[in-house]
Amino acid sequence: MKKQCVAMAGTYLRGLLLLLITLMASVGKTPLDFNATDWHLILNGLWASGVPVLMRLLNPKDQGYGISQKKE
């Protein structure tokens, strides 16, 4: 079970990092110059980066932590 939790956290963190870097680059400003709209866009990345984790979790054929994976 711990192995699956580490795998899920890794998937989430990779997605979060990639999404936040992409969003910050698309805004075109440094974080110190962001306005409320820019921060709203970045914060939406927090929940959006959880989508790949949810997709893998619900996939019964996923080797890492799919829904039909045997409990360890």
Decide if pLDDT at 70 tops 70.
Answer: no
pLDDT at residue number 69: 52
Please provide the average confidence, as pLDDT, over all residues in the chain.
Answer: 81
35-67 pLDDT, tens digit per residue, is 999 888 888 888 888 888 888 888 888 777 767
6 pLDDT more than 70: yes
Of the candidates 23, 19, 48, the one whose C-alpha atom is nearest the C-alpha of residue 34 is 23
Residue pair 24/31 in contact by the 8 Å Cβ criterion: yes
Where are the chain's structural domains? 2-58
SS3 assignment, position 19: helix
Whether 18 contacts 45, CB under 8 Å: no
Nearest to 27 by CA among 50, 36, 67: 36
Q: Which alpha helices (H) appear in 1-72, and where do they start and end?
A: 2-27, 36-48, 51-58
